[in-house]
Amino acid sequence: AAAIGNGDKLSHIRVSGLTKRYSTSRGEVLALDDVSISIGAGEKVVLLGPSGCGKTTLLRCIAGLESPDAGEIEIDGKIVYSSSMRIHLPPERRGLSMVFQSYALWPHMTVFQNVAYPLINARVPKADIEARVMAALRMVNCDIYADRYPSQLSGGQQQRVSLARAIVGRDETVLFDEPLSNVDALVREQLRNELAALQKKLAFSTVYVTHDQSEALALADRIAVMRSGRIAQIGSVREIYERPASRYVAGFTGAANIIEGRISSVEKDVAAVQTAIGPLQVRPDGLAADQAISIVIRPEHLQFSDARPAVNAIRGRIELATFLGVYTEYILAAQDQRLVVRSTRPDLLDEGSEVWVTLDTKHAVTFATDGGHE
Ligand code: ATP
């Protein structure tokens, strides 16, 4: 953190009761509905959710690019927005920088001039500028392009330069708005890893907007899954993945099988569930007999079994087998249900064959279907 980061003075973002309405010709849109979130110093929080759920609006409100209707935003102990106190600091006074989906580089400036821009704006002494710009460019492996114009760079290179411009000011908070969605898949993965390494090294706090689940899982300390202007769940990557609080969150954080059923009995350690694909057992926590439930199980938590399993035996026919390198993905037809199974077993199972799979009770998450846990 010595070179560019701010090891000693880390920022912290606190958003409380934030509400934002847009008026459109068809009436009002409630883009943010009483959102509260707290982001620790050096923490990486990803806002994840489908198009229109309000993630960009939340990011832009934190940045100061959007004016909320109610609530409060504090950055590094300083109130930058408050509806009750009528405070609304402009973006440049919030001590943060932003990386956008479109690279937003000035076309008439060289790479060097683009990256130097925030420093010139902040009246950094001329003598320091060159060293800082080149250090930032080296961090993203773009120092050799210092004299080029943006139009002479690939999309991935342009995004690296935007990244250099975001870190050169040594701001403690960097906001990202889908920064990788315009680069192709291979470069995206590479940039994602470089970004993760850079964050580790410089320890800036991050709010990162994406609708890409794998990006969220790779980059976040915590994920906030958003839905209709609210935060549906916030938690560590593991919590969100392994203990989603709703079907919605489960479906938005990686592939998930959903099996509908009804509880037939509840005992101390296990609840029995009747489903269209046979009787299953789940953990009994919070469940009651006769309740309608959905069982959510990730594809890697369904396992093939050579013989009929003693419990949680599911019979199915392999409709499709797709070899994906590390694992093979199978689409299984069990009665009318389609199940996705990811298996790392080395032998490929033939399409059309009848197989047994079993589900691991400890990885199955249940939701009351009629309890509003949509
Ligand atoms: P995306 O991934 O598509 O960018 P998002 O989750 O970032 O989606 P927002 O852009 O925050 O969603 O939009 C939230 C809601 O507010 C949407 O219903 C959107 O149509 C609406 N909205 C956003 N900006 C405006 C605007 N300037 N005027 C009117 N409505 C807007």
- Determine the distance separating the centroid of ligand 1 and the alpha carbon of 56, expressed in angstroms: 7
Question: What was the pLDDT predicted at 90?
Answer: 94
**Whether pLDDT at 286 is above 60:** yes
Domain ranges for the chain = 13-95+171-248, 255-368
174-198 pLDDT, tens digit each = 999 998 888 888 888 888 988 888 8
Position 4 pLDDT exceeds 70: no
* pLDDT greater than 70 at residue 21: yes
The pLDDT assigned to 5 comes to: 38
Atom of ligand 1 nearest to the CA of 20: 16
Residue 352: what are its φ and ψ, rounded to 5°? 95, -15
23 CA distance to ligand 1 middle (Å): 11
Sheet strands side by side (includes 337-343): 302-305, 354-359, 313-323, 328-334, 337-343
Closest Cα to atom 14 of ligand 1: 54
Mean pLDDT, the chain, rounded, equals: 90
CA of 172 to the centre of ligand 1 (A): 27
Tell me if the domain spanning 13-95+171-248 has CATH number 3.40.50.300: yes
Reply yes or no on whether the pLDDT at 373 is more than 70. no
User: For position 371, what pLDDT does the model report?
Assistant: 53
The pairing of strands 13-24 and 27-39 is antiparallel
Residues having CB closer than 6 A to ligand 1 are 22, 24, 29, 31, 49, 51-57, 211
The domain defined by 255-368 folds into OB fold (Dihydrolipoamide Acetyltransferase, E2P) (2.40.50)
Residue 374's pLDDT band, with cuts at 50, 70 and 90, is: low
pLDDT recorded at residue 86: 94
Whether the pLDDT of residue 31 is over 70: the answer is yes
Query: To test ligand 1's pocket by mutation, which of 18, 25, 33, 55 has the most ligand atoms within 8 angstroms of CB?
Result: 55
Distance 95 CA to ligand 1 centre (A): 25
Q: Taking 70 as the threshold, does the pLDDT of residue 273 lie above it? A: yes
Nearest CA to ligand 1 atom 1: 51
Instruction: Tell me the CA–centroid distance for residue 157 and ligand 1, in Å.
Output: 28
Mean pLDDT, residues 102-126 taken together: 90
Same fold, 13-95+171-248 and 255-368: no
Distance from the alpha carbon of residue 356 to the mean position of ligand 1, in angstroms: 45
* Residue 70: predicted pLDDT: 97
Query: Which SS3 state, helix, strand or coil, does residue 351 take?
Result: coil
Looking at residue 322, its pLDDT comes to 94
Instruction: Work out the average pLDDT over 272-285.
Output: 95
**In this prediction, what percent of the chain has a pLDDT beyond 70?**
96
Give distance in angstroms: CA of 345 to centre of ligand 1: 44
Burial of 220 (0-12, 13-18, 19+ CB in 10 A): buried
- Indicate if the pLDDT at residue 11 is higher than 80: no
- The pLDDT tens digits of the residues spanning 146-163 come to 999 999 999 889 999 998
Residue 318 has pLDDT above 90, yes or no: yes
Q: What is the pLDDT of residue 8?
A: 38
Q: Whose CA is nearest to atom 29 of ligand 1?
A: 22
Mean pLDDT of 255-267: 94
DSSP annotation of 229? T
Instruction: With cut-offs at 50, 70 and 90, classify the pLDDT of residue 92.
Output: confident
Q: Tell me: pLDDT of 41 over 80.
A: yes
Test site for ligand 1: of 21, 24, 29, 227, most ligand atoms within 8 A of the Cβ: 29
Indicate if the pLDDT at residue 6 is higher than 50. no
Q: What is the pTM of this model?
A: 0.86
Take residue 48 and report the two structure tokens written for it: 């994840």
Q: Cα of 31 to ligand 1 centre, how many Å?
A: 6
- Work out which ligand 1 atom sits closest to the CA atom of 57: 11
Atom of ligand 1 nearest to the CA of 49: 6
* Residue 10 confidence (pLDDT) above 60: no
Q: Given the CA of residue 53, which atom of ligand 1 is nearest to it?
A: 6
pLDDT, tens digit (0-9, with 9 covering 90-100), for 333-344 = 999 999 999 999
Check residue 240 and give its pLDDT: 92
Q: Are strands 205-210 and 44-48 parallel, antiparallel or unpaired?
A: parallel
Residue 181: predicted pLDDT: 84
In 40-85, which ranges are continuous DSSP H helix?
A: 55-63
Q: 214 C-alpha vs ligand 1 centroid, how far in Å?
A: 22
